Copies of this chain bind each other. A is one copy, B any other.
Amino acid sequence: MRTDTVYKKAFNRAASMLRDGQLTGDLPSENELRRQMGVSRTTVRKVLGELAHRELIAERSGVRTAGRPVEDSDYYPDAETTSRAKHVEQQFMEWMLRGDTRPGTSINELELARQFGVATNGIREFLIRFSRFGLLEKRPNTGWLFKGFTEDFALELFEIRVMFELRSAHLFSRQADTSPLWEKLAVLKIAHTELLKRIESRFHDFSGLDNRFHRLINEASPNRFIDDFYDIISFIFHYHYQWNKHDEKQRNQAAILEHLAYIEALESRDPERIERACRAHLGSARETLMRSLIVFDE
């Protein structure tokens, strides 16, 4: 049976809105809530029904108002708010990055299914999706080959990344001065300097900033294949860094400085300077990744 994670997540979201006082007086209409929460009205109604049932809201002649205060115990546990597919993803990445999975290992759908507690179908769908990341290969009627999160992988990944990024940065710098992206870049620049000031406590925030920055550069000259490739990068880094916290603050601090140099290079519109700043940044990103691979490979 399908999980009701959409409902539970929406419920938690609504509970938080109530608690934070974002929903005072008469509540918005179902349609309005639907828009705010990004789910269907069917789900909104289910949430409202349960909220009413628990007296977190009161319904009087069709008008809804907030009810008793929200308690911590009203929330559904986090584990129940992620779909099976997401669970599979997380467990698989953990399995892969834990490091005890050697390149060349073959992957068994049934075994993973049992291990992760899902039907084989879910595993297979994940593996198909994941195979575009270049770490897996399917051999029909036989199974999957895990090619390994190896040095080769990192080198090939970065070769492409550099090509794409140089291309995008170049095109970015040649936009009209009136392009709104320059403004966005300026905003991002400020966010970087702000983060740098608070680096001691907030260094975790860098990864979000990093993502925004690189995606912004691609925005000037969209290409779906480059975007897709950047999805791979984000995905890999997202999970990889969950497993490699080593030196995180220092790394992020260095990266922020590189970003700032890179942003200024873009603003200068000087092609050579841009290329230098871009290569410098990607070069150290690559080094970081490579170094962590060696740690895993012992």
Q: Which residues of A come within 8 Å of B, CB atoms?
A: 6, 40, 121, 124-125, 128-129, 132, 134, 141, 153, 156-157, 159-160, 163, 167, 222-226, 228-229
Contacts and interface: CB of A to CB of B under 8 A. Distances in A.
B128 A160 contact: no
B132 A223 contact: no
Q: How many copies does the complex hold?
A: 2
26 contacts: A6-B141, A40-B141, A121-B121, A124-B125, A125-B125, A125-B128, A128-B128, A128-B129, A132-B132, A132-B228, A134-B224, A134-B225, A134-B228, A153-B224, A156-B222, A156-B223, A156-B224, A156-B225, A157-B225, A159-B223, A160-B223, A160-B225, A160-B226, A163-B163, A163-B167, A225-B229
A84 to B, nearest CB: 12
Nearest to A222: B156
Nearest to A166: B163
A256 B180 CA distance: 46
Nearest to A224: B134
A252 B125 CA distance: 38
Given A134-B224, A225-B229, 16 more contacts: A6-B141, A40-B141, A121-B121, A125-B125, A125-B128, A128-B128, A128-B129, A132-B228, A134-B225, A153-B224, A156-B223, A156-B225, A157-B225, A160-B223, A160-B226, A163-B163
A167 to B, nearest CB: 7
Most B CB within 10 A of own CB, among A121, A128, A141: A128
Nearest to A223: B156
A222 B224 CA distance: 23
Nearest to A156: B223
A134 B167 CA distance: 20
A171 B160 CA distance: 14
A124 B125 CA distance: 8
